[in-house]
Structure 1
Amino acid sequence: MHTLIKHREETTSTLIAGALAVASAYLVVSLAVRIMNYDLRRDEALYVPPMRLLDESTLYKDFFYNHVPGSAWWFYGVRQLTGSDHLLMNGRLGVLAGWFIFAAAIGFISFALTRSRLVSWCIVVLSVLNPLFLTETGMTATNNLLPLPFSFLGIGLFILVMRSSRRRLVLTGAAGLCLSVAVVLKISAVAFVPPVAIAAFFFPRALSFPDRIKHIVLPLAIGGLVGGLPILFYLVSDPARFLAHVVGYHTGPHARYWQGGGEGAAVSLAEKVLLARDIWLSNAVAVSLVVVVAMVLTGSQLGIALRRTDWLLSSGPVIVVFAALASSVFLSFVPTPAFPQYFAPPLICLPLILALLFAGLDSNARKQVLPAVVAATIVVLAISIPRLSQFIGTAVHPQHWLVSRVHDGGMAIAQLLEKARVQGKVATLVPIYPLEGGLEVYPELATGPFAYRTADLTPPDLARFYRMTSPTRVRQLLDTDPPAALLLGFDASLEAPLLAYAESNGYVPVENIGITNRYGTGLLYVRPAQGE
């Protein structure tokens, strides 16, 4: 009888493992295909071009870039690894790598805390299949998703150090390294640094204060210093220019540009609260919160909270997670205007809360709450799979992927210019296309419309640090160095001066060039060949 029961348990375990493997494979393929097919977004005009520009140009000095340097070098590194000139594909591969790191990090930390493969898998699904991550925040080649896995790892590794009875210098240093790498990728990740840095002086409680300084604070600080070297390099080499791009732009011309509001932007506190509510209380998060409540109630029913009064209130790891949650929530409301991706950082606390709560349950409580965890995971899968599977039909047809079509559009421009026997730069606010075709763009327009649209709002003491032009000055730039072509059709208002230049200088319009995105249809104006 005992042997039969054991055999059934082994069979059940094998079936569950097989089902999880199949589900994981489908999720990975669906995610990859969705990323490769997701509509091109305006922000990618900022993040993708540095993959080519950094071959010969210097970040900040030679072209405008209003973020910390990590994302630019991340995508550039992906291009060097692949050796491919499909720029948008490289950028999206960089984001896909971020997804893999995120899922692996959640799985690793969850298993280290719970020692349950099934629960760890469920926590991964409950965490990453968030509607916010399945839209622009996690699908496009930007810096929105990239810092999240490193912030999560930084806090997660520090929690493992806090729960360990051994002195783990390498693990502590790695926690500091990951927290700094996240900040190098996106400045908003700094929200997670103070909670961990402060906790290092108080936890683990078993260590004396001098030992905490020696074995916790110093390794954490050294790891953080190493991880933050890219930012330190730019701060030391050209601090005024670096701060003008990363801080001055966002607090000055960017904020003034959006004062009147705009699509997807929240300016007032009330608008920010509504946006945060939609993100933090989305269906996937709400289902996960039900699991959190179930864990707490189950623990209380079994007397865990009564017998272990430090389970929730005095637990160091729980304190750190909730401090990180509070800090990231506060910082999400600081930028004005606010966009959906600004409210993503607090979401990394959810898997930590789930793992810590489950780890605090005894074996009987775990058996009672496990069905709720599995049921919640099934619900989230049912909610998310239709959206995740949107482009699964193209999985075996990479030539039809959005990233391939964008590259083909760039190559089509290059072929048209070669046929027209004209050479020179391409003037456009969507530089991805000409760069995909191996063509030159103007440094002043190399990272899209962001500096261009705010240039006339930028005070001179700030503008001197930017390589840019403006709607009122772009004609002078083009007169000095006439473009081989102008790619227009994506923003009538901002492109008006470019269109006026093309029409007044006899540029020949070429329609149906095969470039269409959510912002419009591309229209190429080609400079007449000499002698025509």
Structure 2
Amino acid sequence: MTDVKEVTPSQVAIPSADLRALLYRAAIFILSALLLFALLLRVMNYEMRKDEQLYVPPIALLDHHRLYEDFFYNHPPGSAWFFHWVGAIVGSDHLLFSGRLSVFLAWMLLLAAIGAITYALTRSGLVSWCVVVLTVANDLFLTQTGMAATNNFLPLPFAFIGLGLFVLAVRESHPKPFLFAIAGLCLSLAAAFKISAVAFIPPVAIAAFLLPRAYRFKDRLLRVVAPLAAGGLVGGIPILIPLLLAPQRFLAHVVQYHTGPHLQYWRTANTPGEEQALSLVAKLLLAQGMWFSATCAVVISVLVALFLTALQAPDGGGRARLSRIVNGPLLVVAGAFLCSAAMSLLPTPSFPQYFAPPLICLPLGLALLFGSLEPETRTRFQPVFVAATMVVLAIEAPRLAQYVGTAVRADRWTVTRVHEAGVAMSQRIAVARAQGKVATLSPIYPLEGHLEVYPELATGPFAYRTADFTEPALAAWYRMTSPGRITAIFEADPPAALLLGFDEVLERPMLDYARRNGYLPSTDLGFKDRYGSPVLYLKPSPQ
């Protein structure tokens, strides 16, 4: 009879350490892939916003027209050229798709930078992954700020890289000058996308004269300040070129428009559905909602817990390490947060997306504080990061998964539907044999259909709606028209069609012209957006 060998509990097969590590990595990889795919779907499906009527048209216009001279554009040139180059590289005639793809690429750059820099500061893959996910699940980034094809998100990766590389460099005993050069390059590039990104430059510039403390002042000038300034000069070329070639035109578009007619328009306009804040109190209330949302509150709680944990280190060394960080890198990050927060409150009016820049300081704060802990304390604190990440994911899961149902139906994506609307409109005009330009305050649609638009309306309603508040000397630098002068343009160059139905007040002179000249309305266009149901008025056939 064969003996039966008794199996003790200690002999029960359990996964080996290598197998557990493999399963852990596989779970992280799968969840990361799902989050990125959900992010891509959200970017491509997010409902089109009015601001995109300004930022997307240059993708097509820059093929044959000059920025600022041939059409109005009230921001630095970085976003216009970036969208245009991505569209050219991809080779797609889907304009909104090219713009949204550019934003998604900016997301990839930001997340990669956060992962790499936080890992360099913490040497923990798990914590770095958690910090990346906490950024992905930030509700401000998951709305217009990080979804629409505008310049709101584009500066953030470059500002983070510039700030992060500077922090990494000054922590080293012998920092490499090229790190400071790249930091300066990225900080200037951020400002080339959105002028408010200059807020990240002063704290870094000041710190360059003070850090690293082990250096003599002369060494800081040669090894820190000089490469930082050189990199900043190279990164500033996109702004310096138009500023030097036509300074008055550039300043009229980028600076004077916002401090003059734009401000006057919002002081008198009553625009429903816009979350603008005009007074300082209204701005502070809006900032409170953005900076202390549920997801941000979780991150801030982790920051506070890290700070208190570092202070309470049992060996007493935690306070010394924390003091070194607070008096150096963390102080730079805090300065960047305060400067960018103050800059967020300066524009009038303020909108929710203006309050995004300070949030890129949070990942660096988390990484620096975690890196100040003793190795054993870090291990004990890792579950706090995991718990915070799971809480934030649970909060934002409905938003992240909102468009998962469109995964296999690209024809339902917003970017696809907008392009098809433009093509359908082009076909409708071709059937009517109407010749001429298309008049509209929503130029993305005709441009998607390869139709010609009026240069004065090529970037949406922004110059048009502020024309009555623009001084003649300033208006001379803009390619624009006004509700009172638009009819004269139509009389000289009759439109083939007018696409209306998005703004009853601003479109009134166009509608009156269409009705007065017998344009034929067509309402069955098969598309609409959050601003209205469009009507295409076609030029009547000659008798």
Fold-level similarity (TM above 0.5) = yes
* Contact 1:510/1:525 (8 A) holds in 2: yes
Q: 2:219 aligns with which of 211, 215, 227?
A: 211
* Contact 1:158/1:175 (8 A) holds in 2: yes
- CA offset digits 1:229-249 (Å, max 9, x no partner): 010000100000000000000
Corresponding residue for residue 378 of structure 2: 366
Change (3 A) 1:384 1:470: same
Which stretch of the first structure deviates more once superposed, 290-299 or 310-319? 310-319
Corresponding residue for residue 264 of structure 1: 275
Corresponding residue for residue 293 of structure 1: 304
Change (3 A) 1:307 1:18: closer
| Partner amino acid, structure 2, of 1:89 | F
Corresponding residue for residue 100 of structure 2: 92
Q: CA deviation at 1:215?
A: 0.8
Distance 2:68 2:101 in 1: 24
Q: CA deviation at 1:298?
A: 1.9
Other structure's SS at 2:505 match: helix
Corresponding residue for residue 170 of structure 1: 178
Q: CA deviation at 1:304?
A: 6.2
| Partner amino acid, structure 1, of 2:358 | P
Corresponding residue for residue 473 of structure 1: 485
| Partner amino acid, structure 1, of 2:483 | P
* Contact 2:76/2:192 (8 A) holds in 1: yes
Distance 1:212 1:464 in 2: 47
* Contact 2:56/2:95 (8 A) holds in 1: yes
- Aligned: 1:407 with 2:419: yes
| Partner amino acid, structure 2, of 1:333 | L
- The correspondence of residues 97-496 of structure 1 with structure 2, limited to 5 A, is 97-260=105-268, 262=271, 263-303=274-314, 308-309=319-320, 311-312=322-323, 314-496=326-508
Identity %: 57
* Contact 2:312/2:318 (8 A) holds in 1: no
Other structure's SS at 2:498 match: strand
Which stretch of the first structure deviates more once superposed, 123-132 or 184-193? 123-132
Distance 1:293 1:247 in 2: 38
Distance 1:470 1:127 in 2: 42
Q: Give every structure 1 segment of 4 or more consecutive aligned residues whose post-TM-superposition deviation is greater than 6 Å.
A: 3-7
Corresponding residue for residue 7 of structure 2: none
- Aligned: 1:76 with 2:87: no
Distance 1:307 1:333 in 2: 36
* Contact 2:318/2:372 (8 A) holds in 1: no
Distance 1:195 1:518 in 2: 40
| Partner amino acid, structure 1, of 2:308 | L
- CA offset digits 1:396-429 (Å, max 9, x no partner): 1111111111000000111011111112100000
Change (3 A) 1:329 1:304: farther
Distance 1:252 1:466 in 2: 13
| Partner amino acid, structure 2, of 1:271 | A
Corresponding residue for residue 6 of structure 2: none
Q: CA deviation at 1:292?
A: 1.2
- CA offset digits 1:360-412 (Å, max 9, x no partner): 00112112211111000000111112111111111111111111110000001
Other structure's SS at 2:536 match: strand
* Contact 2:161/2:183 (8 A) holds in 1: yes
Change (3 A) 1:295 1:6: farther
Q: 2:56 aligns with which of 48, 67, 80?
A: 48
Q: CA deviation at 1:208?
A: 1.3
Change (3 A) 1:396 1:198: same
- Aligned: 1:28 with 2:36: yes
Q: CA deviation at 1:303?
A: 3.5
Other structure's SS at 2:439 match: strand
Q: 2:45 aligns with which of 19, 37, 47?
A: 37
* Contact 2:426/2:449 (8 A) holds in 1: yes
Other structure's SS at 1:219 match: helix
Give the structure-1-normalised TM-score.
0.97
Other structure's SS at 1:440 match: coil
- CA offset digits 1:451-485 (Å, max 9, x no partner): 00000110111100000001111001111100000
Distance 2:214 2:14 in 1: 41
Distance 1:216 1:73 in 2: 31
Q: CA deviation at 1:7?
A: 7.0
| Partner amino acid, structure 2, of 1:104 | A
* Contact 2:68/2:249 (8 A) holds in 1: yes
Q: CA deviation at 1:209?
A: 1.1
* Contact 1:94/1:141 (8 A) holds in 2: yes
Q: 2:22 aligns with which of 9, 14, 27?
A: 14
What RMSD in Å do the two structures reach over aligned CA positions? 1.7
Distance 1:94 1:439 in 2: 23
Distance 2:318 2:429 in 1: 77
| Partner amino acid, structure 2, of 1:185 | F
Which ranges in structure 2 are unaligned for 5 or more consecutive residues? 1-10
Other structure's SS at 2:499 match: strand
Larger Rg: 2
| Partner amino acid, structure 1, of 2:148 | T
Distance 1:443 1:347 in 2: 37
Q: CA deviation at 1:524?
A: 0.3
* Contact 2:72/2:253 (8 A) holds in 1: yes
